[in-house]
Structure 1
Amino acid sequence: MKQNLPASSEVKEFAAIDLGSNSFHMIVIRIVNGSVRILSRLKQRVQLAQGLDRNNRLSAEAIKRGTDCLALFAERLQGFSPDNVQAVATYTLRQAVNSEEFLTAAAQIFPFPIRIISGVEEAKLIYSGVAHTQPDCGRKLVIDIGGGSTEMIIGDEFTPLAAESRPMGCVSFSKRFFAEGKISEKAFMQAYKTALSTIEDLSWEYRNLGWQTVIGASGTIKTVSQIIQENIDKSGLISAENLQLLIKRVLKFDHIDKLKMPGLSEERAPIFVPGLAILHALFENFRIKQMYYSEGALREGVIYSFEESFNQSDVHQRTINSLLKQFSVDRKQADRVAQSAALLGAKYQHWKNPEQAEEMRLMLHAGAMLHEIGIAVNHNGMHKHSAYLIKNSDLPGFDQAQQNLLTHLLRYHTKALKLNELTEENRYAAQDTKALIILLRLAVILNHSRSATESTEKFTLDTDENAAQWELEFEQGYLERNPLTAQELAKEKEILAKNHIRLVFK
């Protein structure tokens, strides 16, 4: 049910609760200037699915674990209006023949309604959570491996085109194939083949729709990415090759108690191997080459369902606008710098990874709009404050790699430049990061005098293939009419020279 969110000047808090098969999660947020700010996340391992018997009856012990967790959540939500809280239950309570018994017990200590949602509704909410927290990347396949079910969705922007939920999850498969914690290649292959047969009818339809990007959400996929990052590939990219290497390493262990790997938590270990088998089947069935991890999932989808207007705007820009208001940034100056940055970015043609050119221009725009947010802390060291604020903020629409890149842009948009101190980002070529920083620095310089600066679109920009030689040529008389700009460019020439970059301007 849609709620009317407060006007930008009014602040209210909202909560979304996900009663999953393995864990219960709660997220509490505040709407600030039309954007979501996360206040807290709470997670409790409940293992509800472990309490389902062969007749799909939920045990009294599992019900007690669930209601104990809800009592903790209720304490955090004291003072909340029921209109501002949404709690949804998924696979296990969908399956439980005595789900009403659980809901009755929950109502005694949790004064908010709980909805048991269908698998398709769960899938669509997961897609919404991903779409609102990840950068737009065209058509995407979103996958979420839960405790009892797995959701698979293809969509464009905020609209799901195909959404399915199938009864295979890391908790249910753990009970079925890895009893008593024993690990074997035979059990792994049985789990894999069962998962494959559960989803093989979707293969043609989904591959026919197609996608540009595959995004995974929730615990199993997060853990796989962490283990790959710690043991195989620093980028944490879940590629088909990296996944095979991980499976081979995992199958060297014969029991969950012995399964010790950097990146694998003690809590996740008991259900990791069945989740890995399901992920293997998904990669094979849909012929997935690589998958990225998303922090957004069901809970975030519930949060964004509070307000329909969230689905009608660009997530990047919504986040930027919120930060501009929050830190009282001079919007006219930000727009001036962004306009110059766009002109410079359009003239730069030597991206090391040309397939990322559009993403680079989007990041340049974000850096130009947000470079002055640090003034809210102090004008002195503003660039450092701006970088700190970005690094430590929730940025819906920006993934972790983009947030790191934006932090670098703001940190080095002015003053001293030490390119050798940049931390390496596996997703972005070092040359492209360097070029982006230089483009933003030049855009800031061209607007150094703020409204007193004469704006110009009449200039050329030439660079070499290595981004080591830069030549700016302005219309005749421009630098004479703008001596401060000429002076700042002369200073920039010296700074870049110390970084082995040659700047010529005339």
Structure 2
Amino acid sequence: MPFSSAPREFAAIDLGSNSFHLIIARVVNGSIQILSRIKQQVRLAEGLGEDRILSDEAMKRGIDCLALFASRLQGFEVENVKVIGTYTLRRALNNDEFLHQAKAVFPYPINIISGREEATLIYSGASHTQPEKGRKFIIDIGGGSTEMCIGDDFSPIRAESRHMGCVSFAKRFFSQGHLSEHAFESAYKVAMEKIEDLEGDYCELGWQHVLGSSGTIKTVVSVLRANGYKDGIITLERLNYLIENCLKFNSLYQIQLKGLLKERADVFVPGLAILKALFHTFQIDTMRYSDGAVREGVMYSLDAQFQQQDIRQRTATSLAQQFNIDVEQATRVERTAYQLVKQIPFWHTHSLKQEFYDILKWASQLHEVGITINHNRYNYHSGYILNNINLPGFDNEQQLLLATIVRYHLQDIKLNYIHRTYRYSKRNIITLLRLFRLATLLNRSRQATIRPQQVKLRIDGNTWFLSFEDDYLTNNPLLVNDLNLEVRELQAVGFDLKFA
């Protein structure tokens, strides 16, 4: 599908129970680029009484925030601003009064959505920004409610919302910040009761991946990483570790854990109680954090052109257009890389085989993005861009690997700057890098050189052997010169390359 060349700027606003969020973005070459984000903590749920009346103080905090957002949105047409209200606003019996006051300072319509609609938007936001494919279970613990949705790729199958959130549970079970094992168990048991009716249907549907969005899950991941769990994966064992450390304190406000922000301290333990209940009820093994949630879901619901099956390819295509990539050259490099990667013997049965192939494909398509800055040492610029730009569909490790390969595909290799990650061993990273260096080297003369019909690759430890058809190297002396330079670059870091 051809993309419109005229950028379209728009805003998505989520009026949540804990915080109000504003995202301003634009669509360029079929991809969404985030221009700015504003987050204001308003704690609407704190002002929602048992009679479901929203207090004047909570309303004022919300209206003041909307006035701030309105000043940022000056010049935006109404059709380009989408605003949704979630749990607290849909529960408040006097939400019409809030909407009436909002009109005085905020000129855009506010749509208060149902819990299931919120869950499907969260699903959409995570699905359009994270790399997982197939069936996914996505969970969002908000200030007043928790949303759950199972779906395939971009299509939700079962969406639910339950009245339990980190702010409402803090108010109900941890009054005045009082913390005890009894209070925690009470919150945990109530959370279990609220979702027990979903266990059978959800577990029968099953899933391949579990993702969690929201401030609670983001905070859990941040605390885990700060305390030595660098992969950021949430497990029940790790949740229990956090809970045990929190219960050493007598007040939510006294909790001191590495990575725990002061403004999240009083809602952290209530969120842990809900999250533990979700892990137990649905027998979740592992969960990964998704930074895409309801706001991103609103953005990606604006146009059908985003309903593609490969988010990362959409991202790569958009960047290629944005940076005026030479598509024919990218295709030449990609074909050579694919020809070589099939000859890596220890990857034939590797569990990440397809991911390695894909990384080489995207590196081929994007390795020249830095030329728009300066052709001289453009690989440095390309690596910097890919390491720092927003890449929807790529997780942190994939983005770092892509940037590393592109950064070092030319000139010297700095092994001290290349480190293994939790998913990729250093051996595999180096293998990808060496292979991609060869793929770009063999196409350095671009269309001026006749590509070899066949390049054979044999690997013996750190020594790679390249062989070409008869007379090919004789007829391409510039390539021989480039290969000799590559031999010297590799020898400088302890690797060998031989060719004939």
TM-score per shorter chain, which class?
A: over 0.9
Residue number in structure 2 paired with 1:346: 342
2:445 is equivalent to residue 461 of structure 1? no
Residue number in structure 2 paired with 1:416: 412
Q: Quote the Cα distance in structure 2 between the aligned partners of 1:457 and 1:217.
A: 49
SS in structure 2 opposite 1:143?
Answer: strand
Deviation larger for 288-297 or 206-215:
206-215
Residue number in structure 2 paired with 1:326: 322
- Give, as a single letter, the amino acid of the residue that structure 1 aligns with 2:337: A
2:488 is equivalent to residue 488 of structure 1? no
Q: Quote the Cα distance in structure 1 between the aligned partners of 2:19 and 2:303.
A: 26
Residue number in structure 1 paired with 2:305: 309
Q: Quote the Cα distance in structure 2 between the aligned partners of 1:146 and 1:430.
A: 38
2:471 is equivalent to residue 471 of structure 1? no
Please say if residues 203 and 285 of structure 1, whose CA atoms lie closer than 8 Å, have aligned partners that are also in contact.
yes
2:164 is equivalent to residue 184 of structure 1? no
Please say if residues 372 and 383 of structure 1, whose CA atoms lie closer than 8 Å, have aligned partners that are also in contact.
yes
* Mapping for residues 81-96 of structure 1, pairs under 5 Å: 81-96=77-92
Following superposition, which runs of at least 4 residues in structure 1 exceed 6 angstroms of deviation?
A: none
Please say if residues 27 and 299 of structure 1, whose CA atoms lie closer than 8 Å, have aligned partners that are also in contact.
yes
Residue 361 of structure 1 is aligned with which of 357, 364, 369? 357
Q: Quote the Cα distance in structure 1 between the aligned partners of 2:250 and 2:420.
A: 37
Residue number in structure 1 paired with 2:296: 300
Shift in CA distance, 353/500, structure 1 to aligned 2, threshold 3 Å: farther
Shift in CA distance, 12/184, structure 1 to aligned 2, threshold 3 Å: same
Shift in CA distance, 460/301, structure 1 to aligned 2, threshold 3 Å: same
2:265 is equivalent to residue 269 of structure 1? yes
Deviation larger for 104-113 or 192-201:
192-201
Residue 23 of structure 1 is aligned with which of 19, 38, 41? 19
2:101 is equivalent to residue 127 of structure 1? no
2:253 is equivalent to residue 257 of structure 1? yes
Shift in CA distance, 481/201, structure 1 to aligned 2, threshold 3 Å: farther
Please say if residues 21 and 90 of structure 1, whose CA atoms lie closer than 8 Å, have aligned partners that are also in contact.
yes
Q: Quote the Cα distance in structure 2 between the aligned partners of 1:291 and 1:148.
A: 21
Return the offset for 1:469: 3.0
SS in structure 1 opposite 2:474?
Answer: helix
Shift in CA distance, 326/430, structure 1 to aligned 2, threshold 3 Å: same
Between Structure 1 and Structure 2, how many residues are aligned? 500
TM-score computed with the length of structure 1 as normaliser: 0.95
- The share of aligned pairs that are identical, in percent, is 52
* Mapping for residues 22-421 of structure 1, pairs under 5 Å: 22-351=18-347, 354-421=350-417
Deviations 1:375-398 (A, max 9, x none): 100011101100111122111111
Q: Quote the Cα distance in structure 2 between the aligned partners of 1:6 and 1:442.
A: 33
Q: Quote the Cα distance in structure 1 between the aligned partners of 2:123 and 2:198.
A: 17
- Give, as a single letter, the amino acid of the residue that structure 1 aligns with 2:39: K
Question: RMSD between aligned alpha carbons?
Answer: 1.8
Please say if residues 231 and 262 of structure 1, whose CA atoms lie closer than 8 Å, have aligned partners that are also in contact.
yes
Deviations 1:227-263 (A, max 9, x none): 0000131222212322222222122122122111121
SS in structure 1 opposite 2:498?
Answer: strand
Q: Quote the Cα distance in structure 2 between the aligned partners of 1:193 and 1:472.
A: 64
Deviation larger for 392-401 or 481-490:
481-490
Shift in CA distance, 450/269, structure 1 to aligned 2, threshold 3 Å: same
Return the offset for 1:349: 3.6
Return the offset for 1:345: 2.1
2:499 is equivalent to residue 498 of structure 1? no
Return the offset for 1:6: 11
SS in structure 1 opposite 2:157?
Answer: strand
Q: Which runs of 5+ in 2 are unaligned?
A: none
Deviations 1:259-296 (A, max 9, x none): 11121111111111100111111111111111111111
Shift in CA distance, 69/498, structure 1 to aligned 2, threshold 3 Å: same
Q: Quote the Cα distance in structure 1 between the aligned partners of 2:349 and 2:267.
A: 38
- Give, as a single letter, the amino acid of the residue that structure 2 aligns with 1:377: I
Return the offset for 1:468: 2.4
Q: Which runs of 5+ in 1 are unaligned?
A: none
Q: Quote the Cα distance in structure 2 between the aligned partners of 1:456 and 1:207.
A: 53
Return the offset for 1:400: 1.5
Deviations 1:362-418 (A, max 9, x none): 111111111111110001110110011112211111112211111111111111012
